[in-house]
Amino acid sequence: MLKTNPSLERLGTESAFEVLARAQELVSQGKSIINLGIGQPDFSTPDHIVEAGIKSLKDGHHGYTPANGLPALREAVCEDLARRHSVRVNSKNIVIVPGGKPTMFFTILMFGEPGAEILYPNPGFPIYESLIKYSGATPIPIALEEENGFAFQAEKVLSQITPRTRLIIINSPANPTGGVTPKSEIDKLVSGLIEHPNVAILSDEIYSEMLYDGRKHTSLLQYPEIRDRLIMLDGWSKTYAMTGWRLGYAVWPDQLVDHATRLCINDHSCVNASAQYAGLAALTGPRDDINKMFSAFNDRRKIIVSKLNKIPGFRCTNSAGAFYAFPNIEETGLTSRNAQDRFLNEAGVAAIAGTSFGNSGEGFIRFSYANSIENIEEALFRIENIL
């Protein structure tokens, strides 16, 4: 028997990938499965982005790039941040990484160690809790509540800070709930954090271009008073339908940026060059396809939320951002896990149990509406039938 590091036993997972594998197995057995499980756009990457990736390969960009990313791409990220959030960021603070996840990994490993506490959203993206446990730190859940539209309550977050708190993770718009935290709460949170100058903040803003009903995204970058301890995570996966390209970035504070680059050198050297050229085309090219995708998500959102609320035993808050609906299903009498299994095995609908996103997700189930209106309608019809 090999003797491995015991921290491996504490590593969790993202069940969306397991449900995807099970759904694919059922499809290979000839079953009809509608996938509302995995959180990725059902659209292809827009053509001009794909073409830029291909062109870069034909032009001979086959080698390593700087570990922190192509200078032109880092500059383009700064321009994009100026356009979207009206903030000035120096390109030396940008580190390009393979997707959104590496920034989480680096940040949590920078701050997590036995004795340290890290606050994270629950229900929330499952990798936060997994990595906190892996690092040996104590995960302190910030419970997000249905009655607040799953937004963060600043006072509650601040009341959970102790002398052991090293890092607070926030995510708005949020996975799995679709919740968006209003600017007023973020203002309060930032003012309260002034009292805790040694606490770092990881703001996961990967859904920052997906807010509905005229809501405007508030980026934590817009608060100069916390810039020296803010890590802002964003990327191309969701906005540009580029999940498989593996491309993301973070804005790092001066104190941490060289550590982040050194982690890149130790981990993956650099992101593959053609993905970076494609990412550059995404940021600098036309936005018509992006706007079309967003408008399709918005149409589907209205339909799924309204239809979920008509299924007996379901109650669904409005999804304010991202592409997830997170209905409460307690009144069906099913646990989240039962619902996930029954929906997949009996109705042929892949959805993810709320408990996959933490204990506070019991009684809920996540549907991704990154699928066609026909499929969404058929999926909900099948679920209502088996219930």
Contact residue for ligand PLP among 139, 248, 279, 358 (CB under 6 A): 248
Of 26, 14, 24, nearest to 345 by C-alpha is 26
Cβ–Cβ under 8 Å, residues 203 and 231: yes
Q: Which of residues 150-169 bind ligand PLP (CB under 6 A)?
A: none
Question: What's the closest the beta carbon of residue 117 comes to ligand PLP, in angstroms?
Answer: 21
Question: What's the closest the beta carbon of residue 370 comes to ligand PLP, in angstroms?
Answer: 11
Of 96, 93, 105, 90, nearest to 64 by C-alpha is 96
Of 80, 74, 86, nearest to 223 by C-alpha is 86
Tokens representing residue 39 in the block: 């959180």
Question: What's the closest the beta carbon of residue 248 comes to ligand PLP, in angstroms?
Answer: 5
276 interacts with ligand PLP by CB under 6 A: no
Angle subtended at Cα 79 by Cα 71 and Cα 53, rounded to the nearest 5 degrees: 55
Question: What's the closest the beta carbon of residue 333 comes to ligand PLP, in angstroms?
Answer: 29
With contacts defined by CB under 6 A, name the span among 95-103, 137-145, 302-310, 361-369 that binds ligand PLP. Answer: 95-103
Task: Please identify, using beta-carbon distances, which residue of 101 and 307 lies nearer to ligand PLP.
Answer: 101
Residue with tokens 């718009």: 173
Classify each residue of 354-370 as buried b or exposed e, where b means 16 or more C-beta atoms within 10 Å of its C-beta: bbbbbebbebbbbbbbb
With contacts defined by CB under 6 A, name the span among 45-53, 97-105, 302-310, 334-342 that binds ligand PLP. Answer: 97-105
Task: Please identify, using beta-carbon distances, which residue of 171 and 360 lies nearer to ligand PLP.
Answer: 171
Contact residue for ligand PLP among 204, 209, 234, 289 (CB under 6 A): 204
Q: State the burial class of residue 180 (Cβ atoms within 10 Å of its Cβ: 0-12, 13-18, 19+).
A: buried
229 interacts with ligand PLP by CB under 6 A: no
178 interacts with ligand PLP by CB under 6 A: no
With contacts defined by CB under 6 A, name the span among 55-63, 94-102, 150-158, 371-379 that binds ligand PLP. Answer: 94-102
Cβ–Cβ under 8 Å, residues 28 and 146: no
Contact residue for ligand PLP among 125, 134, 212, 297 (CB under 6 A): 125
**Total residues at interface with ligand PLP (CB under 6 A):** 13
Peptide bond into 312 cis (omega under 30): no
With contacts defined by CB under 6 A, name the span among 179-187, 235-243, 309-317, 375-383 that binds ligand PLP. Answer: 235-243
Residues with Cβ < 8 Å from 243, sequence gap 6 or more? 40, 41, 99, 237
177 interacts with ligand PLP by CB under 6 A: no
Task: Please identify, using beta-carbon distances, which residue of 334 and 370 lies nearer to ligand PLP.
Answer: 370
Task: Please identify, using beta-carbon distances, which residue of 143 and 194 lies nearer to ligand PLP.
Answer: 143
User: What's the alpha-carbon Rg for the chain, to the nearest Å?
Assistant: 21
Residues with Cβ < 8 Å from 266, sequence gap 6 or more? none
Q: Which of residues 307-346 bind ligand PLP (CB under 6 A)?
A: none
Cβ–Cβ under 8 Å, residues 84 and 239: no
Contact residue for ligand PLP among 65, 175, 181, 340 (CB under 6 A): 175
Contact residue for ligand PLP among 15, 93, 171, 356 (CB under 6 A): 171
DSSP conformation class of 106: H
Tokens representing residue 121 in the block: 């959203």
Angle subtended at Cα 148 by Cα 146 and Cα 153, rounded to the nearest 5 degrees: 120
Contact residue for ligand PLP among 37, 53, 69, 99 (CB under 6 A): 99
Contact residue for ligand PLP among 22, 34, 39, 230 (CB under 6 A): 39
Determine the Cα–Cα distance for residues 300 and 315; give it in Å rounded to an integer. Answer: 17
Binding site for ligand PLP (CB under 6 A): 39, 99-101, 125, 171, 175, 204, 206, 235, 237, 243, 248
